[in-house]
């Protein structure tokens, strides 16, 4: 799921460059040594095609800052990115500025390799004040009140729904209209899923990641984490949510996209009206552009127990500064413009991400989907992955992997919950 979000989100979000010198920080291109511009090395993940989208904004930045050159050091695969970055940080060869994923930010903060940003963000030079971002999306990038990474964009997890599939299943109610009237409840959502299955369709297509799992837990009124403790298996309502998921994966109320063949994956099934709902972010627009009747699709938040708005998951990535950069001032100039309002507006046009900063909402409210405001509502009240979870290297991936065994029936539910609790407690130490 992370790769799916990032691959499409980067088309809209990216902002970086293929110019400047090279080498380790302070070695090549240093103003102190050559008298020329300072070279700021920075890294992101994504394909060569993604990287091309960075160039226009980089040229504008360099034109405004003739004393700074930007050198992009991309890594094609997300799963390779963070291990390489950690190795670079250990050997003191890391870039000055770099992306960090929301499932990895905690371990970077704990390792003490990131520059504290509170004072810089509050300074006169800042174009991205701390109060301009939403508290929930900081996730593990904030510790003890100190910010170590700024969310460069977000992707709120919502439920895309197919009006044609719902109609085929005999469902006459519109989920978005139910939400607007305070009637979008978990009971109503599950009722629609049951009708979809009985009509020969799937209820909902889910990627196996924390965003969907924890949004469902919240939808039952449960808590995945509470007071620093993992409670997904012990909190009664959270456990009920997980049990509903396990049962639903067996009867097609829910379908794990991770287990589908590439020839008939989640995107294909949704475009062919084989499922009523598809859980995803704004990046789904790109899928619909390529093969769907866009007017046939709309969005709604995950349902709550009583129909009132609740806190939903928000996928995020962060821009951070190497604590050992010899060019702290120039590195921050790049970071603050990249994540600032103007920077986000410039790099998200026509793309699949949602601004993380206040005041840039016009990018999302461009007329599609009909209830695009939902993206903003979920962002404003949402949460990035829990700091306690992302602080432990590999914990989120381990939880997802274990739950997939439960969803696929390889492990019984009760046994799976017992093993999951032991797994998390063992990782927490």
Q: How far apart, in whole angstroms, are the C-alpha atoms of residue 108 and residue 187? A: 40
What does the pLDDT average to over 407-417? 97
Question: Closest by alpha carbon to 339, among 207, 154, 201?
Answer: 154
**Per-residue pLDDT reduced to its tens digit, 158-216:** 999 999 999 999 999 999 999 999 999 999 999 999 999 999 999 999 999 999 999 99
Question: What pLDDT does 29 receive?
Answer: 37
Cα 323 to Cα 149: distance, rounded to the nearest angstrom: 12
Lowest mean pLDDT segment, chosen from 16-25, 106-115, 254-263:
16-25
The CA R_g of the chain, rounded to the nearest whole Å, is 22
| Confidence (pLDDT) at 53 | 73
Q: Indicate the pLDDT class of residue 46, thresholds 50, 70 and 90.
A: confident
Q: What is the pLDDT of residue 54?
A: 76
Q: Tell me the fold of 158-312+392-428.
A: D-Maltodextrin-Binding Protein; domain 2 (3.40.190)
pLDDT for 28 beyond 70: no
Range in 9-23, 113-127, 148-162, 245-259 the model is least confident about: 9-23
| Under 8 Å between Cβ of 322 and 98 | yes
pLDDT at position 36, please?
81
* Structure tokens belonging to residue 113: 């390799």
Q: Which two tokens stand for residue 169?
A: 């299943």
**Average pLDDT estimate for 143-150:** 96
Q: Are 106 and 387 in contact (CB under 8 A)?
A: yes
pLDDT in tens, 332-379: 999 999 999 998 988 887 678 999 999 999 999 989 999 999 999 999
- Assessment of whether the complete model's pTM goes beyond 0.85: yes
CB 46 within 8 A of CB 14: yes
Provide mean pLDDT across the span 32-41.
Answer: 78
d(CA 107, CA 105): 6
In this prediction, residue 33 carries a pLDDT of 52
Tokens of 271: 């475009």
Q: Where are the domains of the chain?
A: 2-154+316-381, 158-312+392-428
Q: Look at the alpha carbons of 331, 52, 101, 311 in this order and tell me if their dihedral is positive or negative.
A: positive
Q: Which helix (H) or strand (E) holds 249?
A: helix 236-251
Q: Is the dihedral of CA 279, 280, 282, 284 positive or negative?
A: negative
Average pLDDT over residues 256-265: 95
Quote the pLDDT of residue 395: 94
Give tens-digit pLDDT for 208-237. 999 999 999 999 999 999 999 999 999 999
Counting residues of the chain whose pLDDT is more than 70, the rounded percentage is 92
Instruction: Tell me if 106 sits within 8 A of 144, measured CB to CB.
Output: no
Q: Which helix H or strand E contains 198, and what residues bound it?
A: helix 186-198
pLDDT value at residue 306: 97
Query: What pLDDT is attached to residue 210?
Result: 94
Chain mean pLDDT for the chain: 90
In this structure, the chain runs to a length of 429
Strand 146-147 versus strand 142-143 pairing type: antiparallel
We find that the CATH architecture of domain 2-154+316-381 is: 3-Layer(aba) Sandwich (3.40)
Each residue's pLDDT tens digit, 284-323: 999 998 887 899 999 999 999 999 999 999 999 999 999 9
pLDDT band, very low/low/confident/very high, at 52 (cuts 50, 70, 90): confident
Please enumerate in sequence order all residues whose Cβ is within 8 A of that of 138, keeping only pairs 6 or more positions apart, or say none: 147, 149, 151, 384
The answer to whether 306 and 185 have CB atoms below 8 angstroms apart is yes
Q: Which of 400, 315, 321 is nearest to 85 (CA)?
A: 321
Main-chain phi, psi angles of 324, to 5 degrees? -100, 10
Residue 154: name the closest of 333, 392, 316 by CA. Answer: 316
Phi, psi of 16 (to 5 degrees): -135, -170
- Beta carbons of 276 and 192 less than 8 angstroms apart: yes
The sign one gets for the Cα dihedral 242, 383, 154, 367 is positive
| The two three-digit tokens of residue 233, written as one number | 């298996």
CA distance from start to end of the chain: 28
C-alpha distances in Å from residue 108, one per residue of 88, 100, 143: 12, 8, 11
Buried b (16+ CB within 10 A) or exposed e, 155-191: bbbbbbbbbebbebbebeebbbebbeeeebbbebbbe
Q: What is the pLDDT of residue 352?
A: 86
The per-residue pLDDT for range 115-139, each reduced to its tens digit, is 999 999 999 999 999 999 998 999 9
Q: Comparing 2-154+316-381 with 158-312+392-428, is the CATH topology the same?
A: yes
Work out the percent of the chain whose per-residue pLDDT is above 90.
82
């Amino acid at each position: 799921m992370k790769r799916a979000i990032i691959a499409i989100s980067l088309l809209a979000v990216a902002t970086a460059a293929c110019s400047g010198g090279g080498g380790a920080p302070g070695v090549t291109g240093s103003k102190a040594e050559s008298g020329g511009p300072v070279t700021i090395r920075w890294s992101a993940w994504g394909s060569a095609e993604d990287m091309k989208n960075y160039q226009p904004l980089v040229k504008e930045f360099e034109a405004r800052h003739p004393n700074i050159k930007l050198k992009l050091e991309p890594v094609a695969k997300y799963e390779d990115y963070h291990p390489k970055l950690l190795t670079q940080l250990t050997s003191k060869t890391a870039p000055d500025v770099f992306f960090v994923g929301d499932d990895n930010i905690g371990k970077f903060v704990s390792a003490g390799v990131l520059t504290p940003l509170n004072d810089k963000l509050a300074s006169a030079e800042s174009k991205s004040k701390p109060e301009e971002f939403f508290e929930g999306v900081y996730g593990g990038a904030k510790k003890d009140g100190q910010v170590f990474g700024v969310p460069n964009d977000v992707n709120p997890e919502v439920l895309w729904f197919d009006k044609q599939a719902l109609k085929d299943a005999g469902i006459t109610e519109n989920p978005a209209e139910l939400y607007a009237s305070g009637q979008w409840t978990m009971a109503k959502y599950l009722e629609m899923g049951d009708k979809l299955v009985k009509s020969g369709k799937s209820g909902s297509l889910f990627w196996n990641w924390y965003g969907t799992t924890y949004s469902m837990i919240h939808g039952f009124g449960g808590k995945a984490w509470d007071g620093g403790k993992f409670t997904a298996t012990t909190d009664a309502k959270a456990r009920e949510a997980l049990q509903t998921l396990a049962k639903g994966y067996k009867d097609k109320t829910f379908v794990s996209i991770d287990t589908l063949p590439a020839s008939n994956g989640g995107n294909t099934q949704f475009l062919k009206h084989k499922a009523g709902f598809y859980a995803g972010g704004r990046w789904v627009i790109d899928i619909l552009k390529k093969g769907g009747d866009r007017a046939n699709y709309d969005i709604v938040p995950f349902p709550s127990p009583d129909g009132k708005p609740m806190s939903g998951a928000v996928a995020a990535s962060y821009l951070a500064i190497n604590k050992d950069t010899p060019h702290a001032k120039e590195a921050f100039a790049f970071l603050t413009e990249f994540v600032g309002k103007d920077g986000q507006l410039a790099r998200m046009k026509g793309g699949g991400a949602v601004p993380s900063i206040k005041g840039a909402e016009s990018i999302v409210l461009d007329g599609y989907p009909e209830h695009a405001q939902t993206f903003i509502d979920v962002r404003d009240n949402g949460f990035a992955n829990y700091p306690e979870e992302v602080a432990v290297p590999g914990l989120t991936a381990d939880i997802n992997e274990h739950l997939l065994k439960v969803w696929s029936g390889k492990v019984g539910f009760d046994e799976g919950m017992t093993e999951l609790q032991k797994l998390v407690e063992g990782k927490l130490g």
